[in-house]
């Protein structure tokens, strides 16, 4: 039973990374003139997700975790509405948040690699260290924002970094996973 749940967790983590890769590819291939439409679609998507989570709360038992999910759905709804109201500034804020996310993800994966893969004497643990440092550097570069000044360029940079960070995440899951037959 435990191994089945761990297998589901691994598949879920890899599938989330694949979906993020698809979003990165979409941001890379989207022409600049459709960038505003992509931002609007993201806003409407967040509102739909919030509505679905709210309806799930209505049909669920009234326990504490479901109230936490309701709170998260309300926050997602507020973020979706903010995306729709402030479409012009969303990409800059997204760049800032994504840069912070990359730095935090890189630090987390660096810690996990140092703690688990190195101590387990996994082969290639130093590659994971380099990939984690690359994520941290990419996050700092996005935060510094030295080369791109238009929303189209920023969208492409965020898409490329989303693609790379998802690939690094898949490599980390595969190399750090404690069980070989899952």
- Residue range 97-126: average pLDDT? 82
Per-residue pLDDT, averaged over 141-154, amounts to 76
Rounded average pLDDT over 129-133 = 90
69-73 long-range CB contacts below 8 Å, 24 or more apart?
73/49
Q: Are 122 and 175 in contact (CB under 8 A)?
A: yes
Angle of helix 151-176 relative to helix 2-29, nearest 10 degrees, comes to 160
Average pLDDT across the chain, whole number:
83
Give the relative orientation of helices 87-112 and 151-176 as an angle to the nearest 10 degrees: 20
- Banded model confidence at residue 53, pLDDT cuts 50, 70, 90: very high
Mean pLDDT, rounded, for 128-149: 84
For the cut 60, the answer to whether the pLDDT of residue 182 exceeds it is no
Q: How far is CA 44 from CA 78, 95, 177, in A?
A: 11, 19, 36
């Amino acid at each position: 039973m435990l191994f089945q749940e761990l297998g589901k967790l691994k598949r879920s983590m890899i599938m989330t990374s694949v979906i993020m890769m698809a979003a990165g590819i979409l941001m890379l291939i989207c022409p600049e003139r459709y960038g505003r439409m992509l931002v609007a679609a993201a806003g409407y998507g967040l509102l739909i997700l919030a509505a679905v989570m709210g309806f799930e709360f209505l049909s669920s038992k009234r326990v504490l975790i479901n109230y936490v999910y309701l709170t998260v759905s309300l926050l997602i709804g507020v973020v979706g509405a903010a995306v729709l109201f402030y479409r012009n500034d969303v990409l800059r804020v997204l760049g800032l948040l994504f840069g912070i996310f990359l730095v935090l993800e890189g630090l987390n994966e660096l810690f996990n690699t140092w703690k688990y893969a190195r101590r387990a004497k996994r082969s290639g643990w130093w590659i994971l260290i380099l990939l984690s440092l690359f994520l941290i550097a990419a996050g700092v570069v996005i935060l510094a924002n030295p080369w791109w000044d238009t929303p189209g360029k920023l969208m492409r940079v965020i898409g490329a970094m989303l693609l790379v960070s998802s690939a690094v995440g898949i490599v980390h899951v595969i190399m750090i996973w404690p069980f070989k037959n899952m």
